[in-house]
Structure formats: structure tokens, C-alpha cells
Amino acid sequence: MRYGSLWERLVRGVRWSWIDPRYQSALPPDLDASVMTLDSRDRLHAKQGRSTARVVFHPAAATADRASGTAQCAGLPAGPVAVYLKRHFRLPWLAWLAALFDPAGRHSPAAAEWVHLERARALGVPVPEVVATGERIGPWACLQSYLMVAELTGCQELNIALPELADELEPAAFESLKRRLIAEMARITAALHTARVFHKDLYLCHFYLDLERLRDDPADVRLTLIDLHRLAEHRLWPDRWRWKDLGQLLYSTAGIAGIERRDICRFWKDYRRRVSLRSPRWQARMVQLKAAAYMEHNRGRT
């Protein structure tokens, strides 16, 4: 990656980008130059100088055969590649100033989330594949960034998948599935917390279940954790952030068909087994109070 000199960043502006070589052939050759102007209305959410949208790239006919062969060798889908593209068009001047003097510091939200995703992956947490990311630093007080992650094909968020599975499966099969799901959720959460890394947005809807694998093999439970833009390490007073994560997760289970109190107790038991906790009863009480605070806050907004 080339960040240019301070003068170049300030007066001319520079761009840097990283693209996963496995996806290179499916993306436009001028992606770095055109990514901030790509137009997609598919699941578009835009506000306050940022946007998220689904984009599908179709490999050019001349490279389609090569892309297909590369994808098969790498275990990737051949043909069109669907991604979710996060873009930040206007960022605070403090972030721009930091990027100006420390261009490798990943000061923009997209570049920071890329670092978070790879940090979580290194801890054994399944997260979406990063397809591409980059920044535009300058000219002058301009900082833009983008992050492109592969779509989780065949997957669905747990808050939607669980009620549907409760209707589809026999009671015994559904209970067995929940036990496997709970064990995997506890493993993922504990992997972060043991390293004193916290998600800070740990709602049920951010766990995605691979339904295609599940239908092929009911014992194959694959979860992926998304939206790691707030991920952070806290070595001092980690309990505060533990309560936040677990309180959010507990709050997000309220009213979800198929989730019972014993499921919550089972999660807590599995989590405790993996994480060394001081005063676990007091910790559980603090998590409950945090969940109640989220409930009260949400009630006040409706």
C-alpha cells in the first residue's frame, strides 16, 4: 500500500485499497477509483454521510472462465459475487487529521472495522469475508472510506430463523438444535470476552445461521457474527463491557418465539464454563439489570 507523502495527502489526496485476491477477477478493474460512486438501491440505507447497500458484481465474459476456476479452487461461488458495501462519505475532521499524519493507522470506520473483523477471526470467531476495503485521504479536509464484505448466502439472522424453525421442526429436534446453537453462541461470546474484546452491539440479530448447511446436515450448526464496527479491547474494568454485551443479548431474546428461560440459563452455564468469572451470581444480576435498562429505554422510544 502506498500512502504518499504528507504533502501529497494534503494537497493532491491519495487512495489506498486492499482487495482479497480470491475475489479480484470478479470485481471491476477500476474499483479503487469508482467504488465511492457506485449506485445501488438494493437494500440501501443512507444517512448522515454514510450508506450501506447490496451490490452484485458480474465478472466480464473474458474472465468468467478463469474466475470460475479460481473460485472453485478457493471454495468460493463461481459467477456473480454479492457483497454488502459500507461507505463513509463525510467523516469528522479529527479522523481526517489522524489519517493525514498517520495514514496506516486505520482511523476511518471502514478501515477500523476491517481490523476488527480480522482480530475477531484470529480469535476463532466466524465473521464475514472481507472482499475489499480502502480510504481516500485528502485533498485538504477530506476523508472517505469503504468496506466490502461477502454476502452470507443462505444465512438468516437468529431472531428471524428461530421462530420459523420452531414451526418447522419437531419439538425434540428443535430442542436439540437450540442446545447446539447455544453452545456455539457461548463459544463465540467467550472467545471475545476471554481476550477482553467486546462487540458492543451483541444482539441476536447479529448472529447469522447458515440454513443451507443446516438443511443438508441437522448437526451442522454454523453461526457468523456480523457488524463489528464497535468492537474494542478493554483491559481495564472489562466487567462493564461484559454486562453491556450480555445485557444486549439477553434483551434481544425477549418476545422471540422458541426461546425459553431454560435456554437463557443454558447459555449462561456454557458461558461461565468458558470464562473465569468472579462472583457469578452478582455478575448475572448486573447483566439482568443492564437488559432491563435496555428494555426501559426501548419502551420510552415507542
148-173: per-residue pLDDT in tens? Answer: 999 999 999 999 999 999 999 999 99
Residue 246: which CATH number? 1.10.510.10
Residue 225 belongs to a domain: yes
Cβ proximity of 103 and 9 under 8 Å: yes
If asked whether residues 83 and 198 sit together in one domain, one would say: no
Residue 270 is part of which domain span?
Answer: 155-301
- The domain tally of the chain equals 2
Domain assignment of residue 1, yes or no: no
121, 253: one domain: no
pLDDT tens, N- to C-terminus, the chain (302 residues): 789 999 999 999 999 999 999 999 999 999 999 999 999 999 999 998 999 999 999 887 545 555 455 554 555 556 799 999 999 999 999 999 999 999 999 999 999 999 999 999 999 999 999 999 999 999 999 999 999 999 999 999 999 999 999 999 999 999 999 999 999 999 999 999 999 999 999 999 999 999 999 999 999 999 999 999 999 999 999 999 999 999 999 999 999 999 999 999 999 999 999 998 889 999 999 999 999 999 998 886 65
Same domain, 55 and 178: no
Task: For residue 279, give every residue at least 6 positions away whose Cβ sits within 8 Å of its Cβ, in sequence order, or none.
Answer: none
Question: What sign does the dihedral 36-37-43-44 (CA atoms) show?
Answer: positive
d(CA 62, CA 69): 13
Give CA–CA dist 6/10, Å, rounded. Answer: 6
Q: Which residues are catalytic?
A: 201
| pLDDT of the residue at 62 | 42
Q: How far is C-alpha 195 from the geometric centre of its chain's CA atoms?
A: 18
Cα 108 to chain center, whole Å?
16
Q: Residue 2: helix, strand or coil by DSSP?
A: coil
Does residue 56 sit in the same domain as residue 134? yes
| 11 and 123 belong to one structural domain | yes
205 and 176 in a common domain? yes
Kindly report the pTM of this predicted structure: 0.91
Query: What is the model's pLDDT at position 1?
Result: 79
Contact 181, 209 (CB under 8 A): yes
- 21: cell is 485476491
Give the domain-ending residue among 116, 150, 184: 150
**160 with 295, same domain?**
yes
Q: Which of 130, 150, 170 is the last residue of a domain?
A: 150
**Are 174 and 292 within one domain?**
yes
Looking at the domain assignment, is residue 114 inside a domain? yes
40-72 pLDDT tens trace: 999 999 998 999 999 999 887 545 555 455 554
Counting beta carbons within 10 angstroms of the beta carbon of residue 64, is it exposed (0 to 12), middle (13 to 18) or buried (19 or more)?
A: middle
Residue where a domain stops, chosen among 118, 150, 182: 150
254 and 227 within one domain: yes
Question: 189 and 93 in one domain?
Answer: no
* 245 within some domain: yes
Looking at the fold, whether 192 and 239 belong to one and the same domain comes out as yes
Q: Is 130 in contact with 144 (CB distance < 8 Å)?
A: no
Peptide bond preceding 139 in cis form (omega within 30 of 0): yes
Please indicate, yes or no, if residue 230 is contained in any of the structural domains. yes
pLDDT value of residue 78: 64
How is residue 152 annotated by DSSP?
A: -
| 289 falls within a domain | yes
Domain identity same for 166 and 253:
yes
For helices 171-194 and 261-274, the axis angle rounded to 10 degrees is 40
